[in-house]
Amino acid sequence: MPIDVAADVIANRPLSADYNVLALAAPAIAAASAPGQFVMIKANGGPGVAGQSDPLLRRPFSIFEVLRGADGTPAGISILSKRIGVSTRLLYDARPGQRLACLGPLGRSFTIVEPPTAAWMVAGGVGLAPFATLAESLHARGVRATLFYGARSGAELFYLDFFRALDVELVLTTEDGSAGEHGRVIAPLDRRLAAHDDDAAVMVYACGPEGMLAATARIAMKHGRPCQVSVERIMGCGLGGCYSCVVPMRGEDGAAHHVRSCLAGPVLAGDQIVWD
């Protein structure tokens, strides 16, 4: 069951002019969450919390980190937010001590592989968000993990040392060529999958812009590899009530149908989504 809390902002760390990491005191949500799940946050307060009425609706955010106390007990969560509109602007400017309505954990999490299967995570921009907790879970299981991470520039590649500390191999790309390989992240993914031993199992996990997700799913299918994608649809409620988040899927009989990505996802099988 999702939990609705009025969460204190513990800290707000700007990473760039657009990105910030917002830490929220939400221990019950943190304790119940699994990698790939999300929360719905009302950026201007919410029920029981003083605030303006605009924006009226909450917005979805992946749980980026589970924050723990000195004894390891879950104390809160953080979100990695990219400023694109009214809510993310408010979250960029949020101050410690402010309270935000936060509902979660929501949605279906990633299915986490076991060794000897390797995990290849593919992140575009703020699509990095669900991979910090996934990388921790993979590390705890002893799974070999690689992160293919693309951004506009080197200044927008974040938390690299966090992933290195979890023994995650980094394959970096930037659109302006200022760090890593020049271009899009799917290019090294395609090359690496083509060169990979057919008998060595790989699970591809992806999160990022829809075009990148579609390309990743197609590349994984081309190389006969399973792929879990975390889709980002506009979500009005996060609870299955508004149908703003539907994604076309193809069933085993080949027939197309729509699922609500807040309930059936956000993590979905890449080869079952109807991409065009």
Q: What's the chain's length in residues?
A: 276
Selected binder of ligand FAD within 23, 25, 118, 129 (CB under 6 A): 129
Host H or E run for residue 222: helix 210-222
Please give the Cα distance from 63 to 109 (Å, whole number).
11
Tell me which residue has tokens 């009214």: 86
Give yes or no for a contact between 137 and 219, defined as CB atoms under 8 angstroms apart.
no
Return the structure tokens found at 272: 């079952």
Residues of this chain that bind ligand FES (CB under 6 A): 235-238, 240-245, 260, 262
- Segment 257 to 276, residues that bind ligand FAD, using CB under 6 A: 266
Report the 10 Å Cβ neighbour count for 111: 13
**CB proximity list for 231: less than 8 A, separation 6 or greater:** 210, 213, 247, 261, 265, 266, 268, 273
Smallest gap from Cβ 60 to ligand FES, in A, equals: 8
Q: Between 35 and 54, how does the x/- string for binding to ligand FAD read (CB under 6 A)?
A: ---x----------------
From 145-153, 158-166, 195-203, 233-241, span contacting ligand FAD (CB under 6 A): 233-241
233 lies in the binding site for ligand FAD (CB under 6 A): yes
- Segment 78 to 107, residues that bind ligand FAD, using CB under 6 A: 79-82, 84-88
User: For ligand FES, which is the closer residue by CB, 147 or 213?
Assistant: 213
Smallest gap from Cβ 263 to ligand FES, in A, equals: 7
Interacting partner of 134 out of ligand FES, ligand FAD, none (Cβ under 5 to 8 A depending on kind): none
From 26-34, 57-65, 67-75, 97-105, span contacting ligand FAD (CB under 6 A): 57-65
For helices 186-195 and 210-222, what crossing angle results, to 10°? 10
